[in-house]
Chains A and B, each alone.
Chain A
Amino acid sequence: MAPLLEVRDLRTRFRTDDGLLQAVDGVSFNVEPGQVLGIVGESGCGKSVTCLTIMGLNDRRLTVSTGEVLFRGEDLLKASSRRLREVRGNEIAMIFQDPMTSLNPVHTIGRQLSEAVTLHRDVSRKEARARALELLEAVRIPRAERRIDDYPHQFSGGMRQRVMIAMALINSPDLLIADEPTTALDVTTQAQILELLKQLQQDFGTAIIMITHDLGVVAETCDDVVVMYSAKVVEHAEVDEVFERPQHPYTWGLMGSLPRLEVVVDRLQQIPGQPPSLLNPPHGCRFHPRCPYTMAVCKEKVPELAEVPGDVFHEQACHLDPATKEREAAKLLATVSGVGS
């Protein structure tokens, strides 16, 4: 099957007052129709910018993007702004991290949902409203026919995120980009929203790019995972493979820092240090200043993304020899067993 979305060697630079900032540096991945791809990484690693670039939502005057974003074979980076507007909200939709601020406070949610319909379909107001109501019911807003004329401030955070999801799915897009859709919500609401997304993904057959920093979310929802660190992909594999044979020290760090219920610890493990500045990234492997396995080569040479021999698709970018990786991964899994299974 031809991939729905092919991102090839995507590079995005921002002009800032302090110089060029390389926010995305050579990122490639595919999304198949109906697939859920997770992009994981710390804040500022470029995962959101990758998706904003796919949507063409970066400020054009301050951004330079190269590479290819092939959506059903069409390069969106070269598309006209008119064509991009057709794609946005219709073929590719997006939901954002903070539902409290993502809805316009002065319009009713019915109006905001209908707007998404009428922008792309030649339908009457009444039909658009009927479609809006249908979607509000699909995302299980109670008493939707009454709530449709309410304003965003009359909804709770979880309900607003449901409205956002309804708005994103209203034109049955082929691809939904969910930028940390549960980060701003409390834990029980998070579970409900994830459950809802999974359900809708099956009902609508929408492919999803799930941006998150939560490996638990990845384990629950994704088919494939891209792990990003400092604007680059460091590991990319099927979800079970990542949890069973993680190959990159950064991925180990992420897994080691997951809180778990069944183990009592005084203090959660963490990856020491701070993510590097994207204005002036470290030489060689960008993770080397924080990596416990740093060798001389790590400071000199940028590790290439290379395939891991095995039955399933798995890529990683680390200089460590395979034997050490297998050993360290096994050690880690022994202590954190339970994650992802």
Chain B
Amino acid sequence: MFQYLIRRLLWAGVLFLAVTMVTYVIFFLVPASPARLAAGQSATPERVREVERFLGLDDPVYIQYGNFLKRLVVDGSLGQSFITRRSVNEEIFRAAPITASLVFGGIIMVLLVAIPLGIFSALRPRSLLDRAAMTYVLIGISLPSFWIGLVLSYFIGYKLGLTPIAGYCEVVSIPEAAVCGGVGDWAYRMILPWATLSIVVAGTYVRFVRAEVMETMNQDYVRTARAKGAPERQVMRSHILRNAMLPVVTMIGMDIGILLGGSILIETVFGLPGLGGTAFESVGRYDLPTLQGVVIFGAIAIIVFTLIVDLLYAWIDPRIRLT
């Protein structure tokens, strides 16, 4: 177990190097000059070179990458933004909770929708409910998230006025000038983004839960449980779901990691200044340190959540031993 953890962490390090290196390479393949952009439209060539030197862009790529790694390992710093000169660490720390709010709230909504719907569809295949769920799934899979987001925002937020159209509120540490804050306001503003995320993501989960439950229902040990005289509720909870949820747990873990790396479209539609928006902006401004920061955060999120899933898996499925 301990050995397994060590090995996983070493691999995480390798993965981390690979991800950051690829980001660097891709970034420098783009034929554009961050220094020119930072220096401004009317800057002289001398001025641009000066900015280049200042930002460290005149060094070869591998030296820049080395400096980046050194800064990260020694100072724990992701550097400063090319454009705003603000610390990337601060930028990430500001944006990450917003994305996390969206992702975790959204995933909870996904599960609240997908697990009951998947179970009922599995219990009554080809019934009206199963077909309705299938329609919902198709809508979720086929329609782009920004469209669903805009439609929800227009009808529920604007026409009906039930929710805010866009915007974000801090849960804790409310700034003085803020117009809103606290758990209530936060959740109120997050309802539509969560709903959008759940419509987009839940479809796959409904089908997945349905398939897993249907497969598990036919297992011999489920028949054994019934032969013992167990009531259907207990058969479902203790014998079917416990087994059917194993692969679902894996999928949730990976999806959380991926979504934390940025849900650009949903964040943009609802004006949430999260990681997705940050990454999007930094690409447009050739702001490598900020982009790199988001990428690193996403990579760490995925690594951490897959690790959590693996550990959780060994805990819920006794057949799996981590070695």
- Further 5 A-B residue pairs, CB within 8 A, beyond A55-B227, A105-B319, A115-B228: A89-B228, A96-B223, A98-B220, A107-B242, A153-B318
Q: Point out the residue from A96, A104, A119 that lies within 8 Å of B229, measured CB to CB.
A: A119
A101 within 8 A of B: yes
Q: State whether the Cβ of A90 lies closer than 8 Å to any Cβ in chain B.
A: yes
Which of A57, A107, A167 touches B223 (beta carbons < 8 Å)? A57
User: At the interface, yes or no: B189 with Cβ under 8 Å from chain A?
Assistant: no
Which candidate, A80-88, A224-232, A244-252, is the interface stretch facing chain B?
Answer: A80-88
Interchain CB contact under 8 A, B228 and A101: no
List residues of A (160-198) whose CB comes within 8 Å of B's CBs. 164, 167
Asked if A104 and B239 sit within 8 Å, CB to CB, the answer is yes
Given contact pairs A106-B242, A106-B317, A88 touches B221 in the complex (Cβ within 8 A): no
Q: Are A115 and B318 in contact (CB under 8 A)?
A: no
The answer to whether A87 touches B317 (Cβ under 8 A) is no
Contact in complex: A105, B228 (CB < 8 Å): no
Residues A103 and B224 in contact in the complex (CB < 8 Å), given A151-B318, A151-B319, A153-B319: yes
Total chain B interface residues with beta-carbon distance under 8 A:
20
In the complex, A40 has a CB within 8 A of chain B = no
> With contacts defined as CB atoms under 8 Å apart, how many contacts are there between chain A and chain B in the complex?
71
- Is B9 an interface residue when CB atoms closer than 8 A count as contact? no
C-alpha spacing A151/B318, complex, angstroms = 7
Q: Does B8 contact A (CB under 8 A)?
A: no
- Binary contact track A93-115/B, C-beta < 8 Å → 1, others 0: 11010100111111110000001
Query: A78 interface residue, CB < 8 Å from B?
Result: no
CA gap between A107 and B239 in the complex, in Å: 9
Query: What's the nearest-Cβ distance from chain A to residue B100, in Å?
Result: 31
In the complex, the answer to whether B227 meets A103 with C-beta atoms within 8 Å is no
Looking at the complex, which one of A106, A107, A151, A167 makes contact with B228 (CB distance below 8 Å)? A167
- Smallest Cβ-Cβ distance to B219: which chain A residue: A101
The answer to whether B224 and A106 touch across the interface, beta carbons within 8 angstroms, is: no
Choose among A86, A98, A101 the residue with the greatest number of B CB atoms under 10 Å from its CB: A101
Q: How many residues of A contact B (CB 8 A)?
A: 28
> Chain A's nearest CB lies how many Å from the CB of B166?
44
A116 within 8 A of B: yes
B76 interface residue per 8 A CB criterion:
no
A325 located at the interface, meaning its Cβ lies under 8 Å from any Cβ of chain B in the complex: no
* CB proximity of B260 to chain A, nearest CB, Å: 29
Q: A102-B221, A106-B242 are in contact. Are A116 and B319 (CB under 8 A)?
A: no
Question: Hey, which chain A residues are within 8 Å of B221, CB to CB?
Answer: 101-105
* A105–B318 CA distance with the chains assembled, in angstroms: 8
13 CB < 8 A contacts A-B:
A55-B227, A87-B229, A89-B228, A93-B228, A96-B227, A101-B219, A104-B242, A116-B228, A119-B229, A119-B230, A151-B318, A151-B319, A153-B318
The answer to whether B239 touches A88, judged by C-beta atoms less than 8 angstroms apart, is no
Is B230 within 8 A of A115, CB to CB?
A: yes
8 Å CB contact of B231 from A85, A104, A105: A85
Q: Across the interface, which residues of A come within 8 angstroms of B219, CB to CB?
A: 101
Answer whether residue A131 sits at the interface, using C-beta atoms and an 8 A cutoff.
no
| Residue B71, interface by CB 8 Å | no
Please determine whether A105 and B317 come into contact, CB atoms closer than 8 angstroms.
Answer: yes
B217 to chain A: closest CB distance in Å? 10
Q: Does A8 contact B (CB under 8 A)?
A: no
